[in-house]
Structure 1
Amino acid sequence: MSATSGSGLVYDKRFLAHDTGVEDKVNMREGSFQVSPEVHPSAFTIIRRTKEFLDGAELTARMIPIPARAASEDELLMCHTREYIVGIRELSYQGVTGPLTASWGEIDEDTVLSPGSFDAAVYAAGGAMNAVQAVLDGTVRNAYALLRPPGHHATHNQALGFCLFNNVALVAQYARRVLGLERIMIVDWDVHHGNGTQDAFYADPGILFVSLHQHDWFPPSGGNLDQVGIDAGRGYTVNIPLPPGTGDVGYLAAFEQIIVPIGTLYRPQLVLVSAGQDASWLDPLAQMMMTMDGYRNLTRCLLEFSENICAGRLLMCHEGGYSAPYVPYCTAAIVEALVGVDLGIVDLYATSNELLRCQTIFSQETQQALLTARKWHQHWWKI
């Protein structure tokens, strides 16, 4: 496999050491009781299953392995405070979880820390940095980083929404400060708004941050149209809130009508993707109705865009996705597109009427949301 055509893959068993445990306690207004345990929504088994799926489909064998490494403290400081890093390290080793507020920052009630969480998080960040290095030096054409824990909700001093360190923001800073890039585009298709990434670059025209997400979902008040950046960064934050039930057609329309035209005007030197597969129709934490074919088509769209604009430099960093049965299917479809193959993987519920509906729906509500977003962003971009 030649470097110019090869796709890279980042994965490390250390990622699985971030153990979010089980949920088995029911709280009452007075007291509580136990029920049979179910795994936490952000379970390590989802990433493990996804890697097994890539292996079984022989996709891993078609990719160039990119080793993970521990990000240094100086590298983490590109997006996080030293006090926050120390606090997360100490609490992880103790196995303390949120909610917690300290002088150095916060951990929200949904974010679980285990003794292996800190090491998993620094290896995820370092692995993503190794991936962008490989993309930019030509070792690989593009890459998928199958990371855990996710990162796009993490701010400089807050662990939020299952996220500890902001992988994609750290990669963007690494690509600029270490590798010398000046313009980077981040596309966040996770169903939840990438508030931490937005915060990191809100006044920064060197990063074009684009997020499409379920409207008014998580975090509260995150990703509204009027959040466009400040000062020199005004217009370089592009939020596209979408209604429940948007589906494959609506997501692709958002790319074709808004994201690609804006990106073409911006002309980034690198495209990064916060790839959360939690907009799928089987995800328990959202209602957006995407399918594996939808993710395949979004990836093909970004591949064509990056080929035209930045010599194919594209790195996808895994974020959310909470359907243990379906995340592997969606991720495999993305990787198939990156590698340039179609191995004939049959969708999990290939004959269901619901799947066909997800693939074909394009509601009036979605069309209006896209029209509204496009008109709004025309204040800053001639699209």
Structure 2
Amino acid sequence: MRLAYCYDERFLQHDTGLDAHQLPDGSTLEPVEHPSSARIIRRTAQLLAASGLLDDALVVAPRPATEDELAAYHTRDYIAHVRRVTSEGGGWLDPETPVVPGSWEAAVLAAGAAIELTDAVLDGRARRAFGLLRPPGHHAMRDRGMGFCVFNNVVIAARHAQRRGIGRVMVLDWDVHHGNGTQDAFWDDPSVLFVSLHQDNWYPAGWGSVDQVGAPGAEGTTVNIPLPPGTGNRGYALALERVVLPIARQFRPELIFVSAGQDASMEDPLGRMLVTMAGYRAMAESVRQLAEELCDGRLVVLMEGGYSLRYVPYCTLAILEGMTGRISGIGDPHEGTSELAQAEREFRPDQEAAIEAARCALAAYWEL
């Protein structure tokens, strides 16, 4: 039942710095931290370390992913491009994705950490694993970075698992933004079930509608559940109950990955959802129980987005509580507020309608 865990200070070399905007008069507005701040991961690591949940964890050291491992998804030209941009002092992989000289080492270590955590689970050294990785990966496409992501950690780890003999893999992505890079990687592959719970019509544009179900020959193994703004714990739980869990039980994965983005939280500046610590704990517990039922508990959870400097650490702690079945005793910083109470009871007809629309779209491929 042991948990494998990986975090390394070198991940923080991917330091996205400050956002500064020039005003029409030529002056500069006082800079603020880039939304994907390294401080979020540092604070999360501190909270997890203080929680007691990692006291008996198997600590896994990261190592750089090789070019061949990165090329399980990414083109070699793109890999060379990232190396070149970072070695020349940094720059932008797309208009939203800055890199600095330390980003190369951080990115290859994050991808390598995802592989090492997968190996820890497949070798039986741990039943489940959590990677507090930086930079995130689920937006990274085959030939370009985007959405703060450099290399697609979960795709690289899933392909590694398949090279080791795992046949069917499930990837559940609950980041508030659609995991377009992961969908692209597995679009025509019926051996991988990709499931995305995300805010409808948000980011990136054009991705994640219910009718995106996979290429011919792989129909139904891409599962998109776009949810309306304001969806909270009850809506996410219902989406799992009515769509995700029934499909997973029919697909019967041998290994489950979670792309864990905590930007569907009630405090996130880049999402409009209302998930709380309790919601993340419940989702993680559901997935842990699913893994126990279907694949001998084999579960690998990898950090993706989440941009609330204050709340991401607590939501991530709740995920570890759900994964381990243990409660740390560290409460929700919103406890006792009217905002938390409203978020935890929020449920509207449009949320149920969105879940029903996804269920109907997928009923052609699964018994739902």
2: CA distance between counterparts of 1:36 and 1:335?
A: 37
**Contact 2:23 / 2:29 at 8 angstroms: preserved in 1?**
no
1:40 and 2:34 aligned:
yes
Residues 150-174 of structure 1, C-alpha deviations (whole Å, 9 max, x = no match): 0000011111000000000001100
User: Which residue number corresponds to residue 110 of structure 1?
Assistant: 96
2: CA distance between counterparts of 1:370 and 1:337?
A: 23
**Contact 2:83 / 2:104 at 8 angstroms: preserved in 1?**
yes
1:8 and 2:4 aligned:
yes
**Contact 1:292 / 1:333 at 8 angstroms: preserved in 2?**
yes
2: CA distance between counterparts of 1:214 and 1:350?
A: 25
> Letter of the aligned partner of 2:61 in structure 1?
P
Provide structure 2 residue ranges, at least 5 long, that are not aligned to the other structure: none
Provide structure 1 residue ranges, at least 5 long, that are not aligned to the other structure: 99-106
2: CA distance between counterparts of 1:291 and 1:62?
A: 26
Per the TM alignment, residue 131 of structure 1 is displaced from its structure 2 partner at its CA by 0.3
2: CA distance between counterparts of 1:135 and 1:152?
A: 21
TM-score for both structures, normalised by structure 1: 0.94
2:140 to 154, 160, 164: 154
User: Which residue number corresponds to residue 339 of structure 1?
Assistant: 324
TM-score for both structures, normalised by structure 2: 0.98
Per the TM alignment, residue 32 of structure 1 is displaced from its structure 2 partner at its CA by 4.0
> Letter of the aligned partner of 1:9 in structure 2?
Y
- Aligned 1:126-165 pairs, distance under 5 A: 126-165=112-151
Per the TM alignment, residue 234 of structure 1 is displaced from its structure 2 partner at its CA by 1.6
**Runs of 4 or more off by more than 6 Å in structure 1?**
none
- Aligned 1:92-241 pairs, distance under 5 A: 92-98=86-92, 107-177=93-163, 179-241=164-226
SS in 2 for 1:158: coil
1: CA distance between counterparts of 2:98 and 2:293?
A: 41
> Letter of the aligned partner of 1:85 in structure 2?
I
Aligned length: 368
> Letter of the aligned partner of 2:234 in structure 1?
V
> Letter of the aligned partner of 1:25 in structure 2?
H
1:283 and 2:279 aligned:
no
1:18 and 2:14 aligned:
yes
2: CA distance between counterparts of 1:170 and 1:122?
A: 11
> Letter of the aligned partner of 2:346 in structure 1?
I
1:271 to 237, 253, 256: 256
1: CA distance between counterparts of 2:180 and 2:342?
A: 30
**Contact 1:42 / 1:162 at 8 angstroms: preserved in 2?**
yes
User: Which residue number corresponds to residue 58 of structure 2?
Assistant: 64
SS in 2 for 1:71: coil
2: CA distance between counterparts of 1:93 and 1:25?
A: 26
Residues 278-333 of structure 1, C-alpha deviations (whole Å, 9 max, x = no match): 00000000111000110000001001111000000000000000001000000001
User: Which residue number corresponds to residue 89 of structure 1?
Assistant: 83
**Contact 1:97 / 1:109 at 8 angstroms: preserved in 2?**
no
**Contact 1:278 / 1:322 at 8 angstroms: preserved in 2?**
yes
2: CA distance between counterparts of 1:20 and 1:312?
A: 36
1:293 and 2:278 aligned:
yes
Residues 110-153 of structure 1, C-alpha deviations (whole Å, 9 max, x = no match): 10100000110000000000001001111001011000000000
**Contact 2:283 / 2:322 at 8 angstroms: preserved in 1?**
no
